[in-house]
Structure 1
Amino acid sequence: MSDNSTYATSADVSADNSANHSQKSGFRRVLGLGSLLAVAVGLVVSQGVMVIMLQGAGIAGLGFIIPLAIGYILALTYIFSFSELSLMIPRAGSLSSYTEVALGHFPAILAVFSGYVVVAMFALSAELLLVDFIIEKIYPGAFPQYAVGFGLLGIFTALNLMGIDLFAKLQSALAFIMVVVLLVLGLSAVSGVANPYPEGIDLTGTWNPMGPEVITLVALAIWGYVGAEFVCPLVEEVKDPNRNIPRSMLLGVTIIFVTIAIYCFGALLYIPADDLAGSALPHYDFAKAVFGDIGLSFLAVAAVTATCSTVNTSLAAIPRMLYGMAQNGQAFPQLKKLTKNKTPWVAVLFVSAITGLPMLIMRDNPDAVGLLLISAAIAWLLAYIITHINVIALRRRYPNIHRPYKTPFYPLPQVVGIAGMIYAVIYASPAPELSNQIFTATGIVLAVVSVIGVFWVKVVMKKDLFKPEPIEKALDAE
């Protein structure tokens, strides 16, 4: 059968599927643009990002705006690809659903587990460890060791089990508070309305001390934009997805770009660049320099809110990816079990458990946070590369299928995105001496995921590793 025979003249097929698939799956369309924008912003702006962006500003000074802007452009490329794919194949499985019809089941399993499940193990664990470190530094001895991190994980696991409506309300509030706090901190620093500027800081003399080499910090800056696509696994619960999915991601990364730029500029006015670059908790130093001791309570709000927002979003989106994979036969069938309020409860508990595991193993090693974050980012970017390849493959296999959203200037965003992501992976570590450790850890995890994926596809599913499924299967699946 020709790949395009069924769809060459059926412009309304995927549009109809977008409207009725949520009825088949049992999900309810309750999420509007505001809720999706809160997801796009709330997952990206984490404590890890707050730390890494200030370290980048310390390395490059005002010149950091160059890699920050290039990172924004690369973020737009993955938004274009995810928007096209998620509206063409509106499934909760997200990347697994797109990849199985573009490249086959093995790449689908590899993409989701390496790019999202492993990221949950690394990045969420690092985020929860960071909030413990910062609260202990601000309020020493106020809480038992690691009680804050594990407590937040338990609270948001329970809240996500209660349903998507509560998630949406919480996420909107968390994202709003977080962005406001960061903007207040940045704008207060830029305007100088709080503590006076310290003497001896000159940003105009050498605004870009790295010169052309500042381009190497694109690999660091891109970490500030990963995660906006977490709106896509929620597609079956979105009102007017054709409009709200792409718009929420585009607005989200734009807000992030402006917020991070102001935040970094303000920090450079108060903290010497070398101190920012070398600090393990530069956001702590920044808040204290601008507002004094009262700024530490301000920072505590920002830190806890950022962590809550990241954990809340991940516990909503990643379980729905696993639910979609279980629907496709790519994961254990138990992961598609739903509660009465349509929450994939087994998947939520699974993601919560794998998030807590590295915290138990690495909690006495603060230096592990950076390793966890960079390893997570490498895995994430590999998933983005697969996403861009999916768009190209499906454009070739199904050129005439209805696409509610088409990537502008195709295939330029995909080509630029793939090249940029490969560059970012190669130069992932800002410290060359850590490169071997980072790539070894990431390689081991990817190797384990690959072995499991091969076994699952060949033995459990009894399918070819790289044989794409017909798109009818993805669009019509119950």
Structure 2
Amino acid sequence: MADASEKPLGLHNVVSVSMGLIVSMSCLVSLGQGAGESGLMFIPAMVIALLLNICSAACMAELNALMPNATGGLVQYTLAGLGPLPTLVTMVGGYLICNILCGGVEAAIFGSVMVETIPLAIPAAVYPTIVSIIVAVAALKGVDIFAKLQDFVSYLLLFSMIALGLIGAFQLGTGAVVAQPAAVTTNAASVVSAVGVASWLFVGAEYAIPISKDVRNANRNIPLGMMISLALICVMDTLVVIGFWHYVPWGELAESASPHLLYGESLLGNVGKVWMSVVSALAFIGSQNSTVNGLSQICDGMTKVNMMPRFFSRKNRFGAPAAAILFVTISICLIAYFSGDSSDAISFLILVVTVLWLVSYIFADIDVLVLRRRFPKAPRAFKVPGGPAIPVIGIAGTVFMIANISSDPAEAVAIWILAGVTFLVLGVYSFFWIKYKMRMPVFKPVPIPEVLAMENDLYYEIRHRRGIWR
């Protein structure tokens, strides 16, 4: 293992990777539509969602400190905490399917924004495909190139959004200031109902964990970087929501498929529209970069425990999991190609993906409690303070966000049913895969030393040669 001083990444890289997935095209859409439905009351909803997501991020950091250098992150944590079945269901549903679908939605939104902004007869799918190819090439060059691209994109995006928010908040735009109530509704119930939508604005900070083995002083920088990124995003989004209030009617904001583009044009005219288009491009590049790198690392980690075909662990000369990178990239492009640009369809899919992702957070919080009980004296360079309080708050808060995923009862039920059916199908698939491919007890946790031993390729090879793993 490389000495800490030789590791290429620092705290600023952790912050940029965490922000890269969170500040995405779909988050810009959710921010505008959430604010359009609640007005400034969306800000306290965001703060509640921020605090709940901080609890889950802290739990992820503790798991990383307990099992450092685990390639797949949550794969290994849940395998040691809850066993193979919950692990496979969570990772395939909560991460692979969830993030590939989300990446496809991001790509579709980006294509629509580019078509609306650039007056050329170019199909919408061309734009995200070009960006995806560039991102894939960067990922194939290894973690150092990935991190440099992420730094440039994430910080430029952050400063642009803060600038656009400040211009709107202080009414410095060239557009007409809108006279409208500060809030669409003013009762506490409106804040509660908006927390589910606001939760999507903060999921994904844990995508910094797969790069922890390349981070200097990871025990400090991983949890600190995730917390800093979440706090910066909350400040940025708050400023933008105030800007929305001054320049865009709430109703138009809620109904727009590209509310961020509407805001840019209302704020600064054509200059603002072009600026926000650049922001959209940065958001897509950043989220695509984080998704491709993070998911490829997760796929690599899952092959080590025989939860995915061995093909996905193939590396190139830069040490990048090339097969997994290409698989994720091609899947996202295909979903983008077949996706529509309906505002309602995009919003619904974002909420379904949110539920799938939040369930994986519940498992991570449970992992912390289980592993503390099973291995109370195991060394942890970082431990969430307050005993079981924060993991329990994280679980309860995540359940709360899922329960309030939509203010429309019919839509909420549809979201729960679709997410439930997805997990049920994955459960059946996982049972047979574990029983007949992995030949392991489906619910029996794997001891931590054995999970860490799986990082060595010889573990798979020996079990495969002996006919234990097929």
Q: By how many angstroms is 1:29 displaced?
A: 3.0
Give the match for residue 50 of structure 2. 72
User: For residues 442 and 354 of structure 1, do their structure 2 counterparts lie closer, same or farther at Cα, with a shift above 3 Å needed?
Assistant: farther
Structure-2 separation of matches of 1:189 and 1:452:
50
1:52 to 30, 34, 49: 30
Which 10-residue stretch deviates more, 53-62 or 360-369?
360-369
Q: Is the 8 A contact 2:37 2:184 kept in 1?
A: no
Q: How do 1:157-172 residues align onto structure 2 when only pairs under 5 Å count?
A: 157-172=136-151
Match of 1:466 among 432, 443, 451: 443
Q: CA separation in 2, counterparts of 1:30 and 1:250?
A: 21
Moved more, 139-148 or 227-236: 139-148
Q: Is the 8 A contact 1:66 1:215 kept in 2?
A: no
Given the alignment of the two structures, is residue 247 of structure 1 paired with residue 217 of structure 2, yes or no? no
Q: Does 1:33 align with 2:11?
A: yes
CA deviation after TM superposition for structure 1 residue 155, in Å: 2.2
Greater CA drift, 153-162 or 71-80:
153-162
Q: 1:88 aligns with which of 50, 58, 66?
A: 66
Cα distance between partner residues in 2 of 1:366 and 1:264: 19
Indicate conservation of the 8 Å contact 1:121/1:357, yes or no: no
Equivalent pair of 2:114/2:124 in contact (CA under 8 Å): no
Structure 1 position 376 matched with structure 2 position 349: no
- Per-residue CA deviation, residues 133-175 of structure 1 (Å, 9 max, x unaligned), is 1111222435223211222222212221121111011000000
Question: How far, CA to CA, are the matches of 1:304 and 1:345 in structure 2?
Answer: 24
1:296-445 to structure 2, matched below 5 A, reads 296-363=273-340, 367-445=344-422
Q: Structure 2: which 5+ residue stretches go unaligned?
A: 457-470
Question: Relative to structure 2, which stretch is displaced further, 247-256 or 132-141?
Answer: 132-141
Once residues 398 and 157 of structure 1 are traced to their aligned partners in structure 2, the CA distance between those partners, rounded to angstroms, is: 39
Which range moves more in the overlay, 430-439 or 230-239? 430-439
In the TM superposition, what whole-angstrom CA distance separates every residue of 1:60-82 from its partner, at most 9, and x where no partner exists?
A: 22221211110111111011100
Q: Is 1:198 the equivalent of 2:191?
A: no
Alignment deviations for residues 407-459 of structure 1 (CA, whole Å, 9 cap, x no partner): 11121111111111112222223444433543343334323322221122100
2:160–2:279 contact (8 Å) kept in structure 1: yes
Hey, what's the Cα distance between the residues in 1 that align with 2:349 and 2:189? 29
The answer to whether structure 1 residue 130 and structure 2 residue 109 are counterparts is yes
Other structure's SS at 1:200 match? coil
CA positional deviation for 1:253: 0.2
Q: Given that residues 115 and 123 in structure 2 are in contact (C-alpha distance below 8 angstroms), is that contact kept between their aligned partners in structure 1?
A: no
Alignment of 1:249-268 (within 5 A): 249-268=226-245
Question: Counterpart in 2 of 1:174?
Answer: 153
Q: Which runs of 5+ in 1 are unaligned?
A: 1-19
Contact between 1:201 and 1:270, CA under 8 Å: does it hold in 2? no
Residue pair 1:122, 1:375 contacting (<8 A) in 2 also: no
Give the length in aligned residue pairs.
452
* Residue identity in the other structure for 1:113: V
Letter of the structure 2 residue corresponding to residue 301 of structure 1? V
**CA distance, structure 2, for counterparts of residue 324 and residue 93 of structure 1:** 4
* Residues in 2 aligned to 1:122 and 1:404: alpha-carbon distance in whole angstroms: 35
Residue matched to 2:120: 141
Match 1:184 to one of 148, 152, 163: 163
Partner Cα distance (1:57, 1:366) in 2: 15
Contact 1:80 1:408 in 2 (8 A): no
- Residue equivalent to 1:17: none
Report the counterpart of residue 6 of structure 1 in structure 2. none
Provide the alpha-carbon RMSD of the alignment: 1.9
* Runs of 4 or more consecutive aligned structure 1 residues displaced over 4 Å after TM superposition: 364-367
Scaled by the length of structure 1, what TM-score is found? 0.90
Using the TM superposition, name which of 463-472 and 442-451 deviates more. Answer: 442-451
**Displacement, 1:218?**
0.7
Q: Percent sequence identity over matched residues?
A: 28
Q: Which segment is superposed worse, 308-317 or 109-118?
A: 109-118
Instruction: Name the CA shift for 1:447/1:157 in 2 (closer, same or farther; >3 Å).
Output: farther
Distance 2:134 2:31 in 1: 28
TM-score (norm 2): 0.92
- Say which SS state the counterpart of residue 307 (structure 2) adopts: coil
Q: Distance in 2 between matches of 1:363 and 1:128?
A: 11
**Partners of 2:205 and 2:229 within 8 A in 1:** yes
Match of 1:8 in 2: none
Contact 2:107 2:128 in 1 (8 A): yes
